[in-house]
Structure 1
Amino acid sequence: MNKIKQKIKIFILRLKLYCKYRNFNMSLSENIIISRKAKIILGENSKLVIGKNVYISDNSRLIVHNNSTLILEDNVYVSINSIISSNSSVIIGKNTSIAHNTTIIDTNKKFEDINIRIKDQGIVSKSIYIGEDCWLATGVVVLPGVTLGRHCIVGANSVVSNSFEGNCVLGGVPAKIIRKL
């Protein structure tokens, strides 16, 4: 019976997906809620893992580009208008809440040669890991290569461009430690 339920879940989720390629890997757990207005885009050889009790709200986007991985562990909440984009690897730890209008993106443009147009210089991707029990407030931007430890709180409209150990409150542009927990 569980195999049938899993197949039904995958079928329903595929109705909400935009899959440019057929070759992708998707693993879904139980009690997942994905808004009808949310969008999931999977590239070729991509991997999407969604844990138990995950909620993805209206107008949110999960984008898993070719040959990349996105993992949302158990009890992750993604609020309205948030974007999580993976070109290499993005992992969101258990019990993490992502407030509305937040962007998590593991890719940036190269811009090393002023004689070549920026759009022609390619991209650089670096994995992102957000630890367990974190809270990213409204409008936070997390940039490539960032690791946040357990129990990090990131204040509204902060830009996280560096990694931080856990148990702290971060804020600002660029984000810095405001207080240790």
Structure 2
Amino acid sequence: MISNFLHHILRPFNIILARLVNHALPLADQLRINASLDLVQRKGTMITIRSGSTLKNASELSIGNRVLINHHVQINAAGGVNIGNDVVIGAGCIISTVNHCGPCFFGNTSRHPITIGNNVWIGAGAILTPGTVIGNNVIIAAGAVTTGHISGNALWGGVPAKRIKSLSVNQ
């Protein structure tokens, strides 16, 4: 009975608190993203980074013009990441230039740069591994895992990513 009474009395305060938190979290997230973006080595124009995304080692990141980094993308640019112009990175993608190596996984890492060409669409949940080089005019299918050189003018998908079909610029 007392708990029902307290619930009834406190309910308006809970609603107000929930509204404040729901507005504050996206703002805090955007402030964190903006702070990371300030550290980016080279920035083009019209860059959009959606909520939940993380830019680690942003000083080693270069972003071209008209780039969309969707929700919950993780970029670890410790080894250097270069993103070209007209690039869309789908939600939940992981772009990491760092890998564990050696007999002991803790503390032993290697770093290799990642390059993303111009006019590239990376589908949701794709993973770009260290050393990946993506050419121009490429689509990476959702959930694909890229390794090595991804040639241009093509659709790539799978684990590991394989060339599925050629694309013309007009497609």
**Does TM-score exceed 0.5, indicating one fold?**
yes
Matches within 5 A, 1:9-20: none
**C-alpha distance in 2 between matches for 1:85 and 1:161:** 16
With the length of structure 1 as denominator, give the TM-score of the two structures.
0.70
Q: CA deviation at 1:35?
A: 7.0
Q: 1:143 aligns with which of 126, 129, 139?
A: 129
Q: Deviations over 1:102-140 (max 9, x none)?
A: 0111110113x3xxx3104x1100111000010000000
Matches within 5 A, 1:19-30: none
In the alignment, which residue of structure 1 is the partner of 2:97?
Answer: 106
In the alignment, which residue of structure 1 is the partner of 2:50?
Answer: 57
Q: CA deviation at 1:37?
A: 1.8
CA 1:56–1:36 in structure 2 vs 1: closer, same or farther (change >3 Å)? farther
**C-alpha distance in 2 between matches for 1:87 and 1:108:** 11
Q: CA deviation at 1:48?
A: 2.8
Are 1:162 and 2:148 matched, yes or no? yes
In the alignment, which residue of structure 2 is the partner of 1:153?
Answer: 139
CA 1:137–1:100 in structure 2 vs 1: closer, same or farther (change >3 Å)? same
Match of 1:138, SS?
A: coil
**C-alpha distance in 1 between matches for 2:155 and 2:105:** 35
Q: Deviations over 1:53-110 (max 9, x none)?
A: 0000011111116xx6100111010000001111121001000000100011111011
Match of 1:37, SS?
A: helix
Q: CA deviation at 1:36?
A: 4.8
**C-alpha distance in 2 between matches for 1:126 and 1:132:** 20
Q: How many percent identity over aligned positions?
A: 26
Matched AA of 1:128? I
In the alignment, which residue of structure 1 is the partner of 2:82?
Answer: 91
**C-alpha distance in 1 between matches for 2:42 and 2:144:** 27
**C-alpha distance in 2 between matches for 1:141 and 1:91:** 16
CA contact (8 A) 1:106 1:143 kept: yes
In the alignment, which residue of structure 1 is the partner of 2:106?
Answer: 119
Matched AA of 1:37? D
RMSD in angstroms over aligned alpha carbons?
A: 2.0
CA 1:49–1:35 in structure 2 vs 1: closer, same or farther (change >3 Å)? farther
Matched AA of 1:51? G
Q: Where do 5+ consecutive residues of structure 2 fail to align?
A: 1-25
CA contact (8 A) 1:35 1:57 kept: no
Q: CA deviation at 1:170?
A: 0.3
With the length of structure 2 as denominator, give the TM-score of the two structures.
0.74
**C-alpha distance in 1 between matches for 2:100 and 2:27:** 31
Please identify, of 157-166 and 136-145, the stretch whose mean Cα deviation from structure 2 is larger: 157-166
Match of 1:118, SS?
A: coil
Q: Which has the larger radius of gyration?
A: 2
Match of 2:115, SS?
A: strand
In the alignment, which residue of structure 1 is the partner of 2:29?
Answer: 37
Q: As a proportion of its length, which structure holds more helix?
A: 2
**C-alpha distance in 2 between matches for 1:48 and 1:81:** 21
